[in-house]
Amino acid sequence: MTFEKARQVADAILFEGYVLYPYRASAVKNRLRWQFGVIAPPGVATGEPAFARTECLIEAGTAPVLDLRLRFMHVRSRVPTARVGDGADAGPPDWDEGVLQEVDAGVALEGDSGTREIPFAVAGDAEIHEGATVRSAELDGLITVAWERSAEPRGLVKATIRVENHTRGNDPAASREEMLRLSMASAHTLLRVGCGAFVSLLEPPEWAAAAVASCRNRHTWPVLIGEPGSRDLMLSSPIILYDYPRVAAESPADLCDATEIDEILTLRTMALTDAEKAEARATDPRAAHIINGADTMPPEVLDRLHGALRYLDEATGRTAPVPAEPPDAPWWDPGQDAAVCPDTDTVAVSGGTAAKGSRVRLCPGQRRADAQDMFLRDRIATVAGVFFDVDGERYLAVTLDDDLGVDLHQWHGRYLYFTPEEVELHRDGS
Would you state the pLDDT for residue 315?
Answer: 61
Q: Quick check: 319 pLDDT over 60?
A: no
Can you give the pTM of this predicted structure? 0.70
Q: Among the listed ranges 38-42, 160-164, 317-321, which one has the minimum average pLDDT value?
A: 317-321
Best-predicted range by mean pLDDT (70-79, 90-99, 123-132): 70-79
The answer to whether domain 346-425 has CATH 1.10.287 is no
Across the chain, what does the average pLDDT equal?
A: 86
Least confident of 33-47, 76-90, 376-390, 413-427: 76-90
- Among 43, 25, 29, 16, smallest CA distance to 182 is for 43
Distances (CA, A) of 150 to 197, 277, 310: 15, 57, 40
Question: 251-262 pLDDT, tens per residue?
Answer: 878 888 887 888
**Banded pLDDT at 389 (limits 50, 70, 90):** confident
What would the pLDDT profile of 252-294 be if each residue is shown by its tens digit?
Answer: 788 888 878 888 899 999 999 999 999 999 888 999 999 999 9
Q: Which residues are 163's β-sheet partners?
A: 52, 143
pLDDT of residue 197: 94
Q: Would you state the pLDDT for residue 360?
A: 94
Share of the chain above pLDDT 90, in %: 53
* Beta carbons within 8 Å of 404's beta carbon, 6+ residues apart: none
Residue predicted with more confidence, 134 or 154: 134
pLDDT of residue 53: 97
Q: Which residue has the higher pLDDT, 412 or 284?
A: 284
The model's pLDDT over 180-196, given as tens digits with 9 standing for 90+, comes to 999 999 999 999 999 99
What integer pLDDT is reported at residue 320 of this predicted model?
47
Residue 325's pLDDT is what? 43
Q: Average the pLDDT over 413-421 and give the result.
A: 88
Give the orientation angle of helix 262-270 with respect to helix 285-295, to 10 degrees.
90
Residue 326 pLDDT greater than 60, yes or no: no
For residue 201, pLDDT over 90 is answered with yes
**209-263 pLDDT, tens digit each:** 999 999 999 999 999 999 999 999 999 999 999 999 988 888 878 888 887 888 8
Query: Rounded to the nearest 5 degrees, what angle is found at the Cα of 251, between the Cα atoms of 248 and 256?
Result: 100
What is the number of residues in the chain? Answer: 430
Model confidence at 339, pLDDT cuts 50, 70, 90, reads low
pLDDT at 371 over 60: yes
Residue 358 confidence (pLDDT) above 90: yes
**pLDDT of res. 302:** 85
Task: Tell me how far CA of residue 71 lies from CA of 11, 14, 104, 190, in angstroms.
Answer: 9, 8, 9, 8
Report the pLDDT averaged over residues 78-86: 68
Q: For residue 330, what pLDDT band results from cuts at 50, 70 and 90?
A: low
Domain range annotation of the chain:
4-248, 346-425
Rounded to whole angstroms, the Cα distance separating 158 from 67 reads 15
Confidence of residue 407 (pLDDT cuts 50, 70, 90): confident
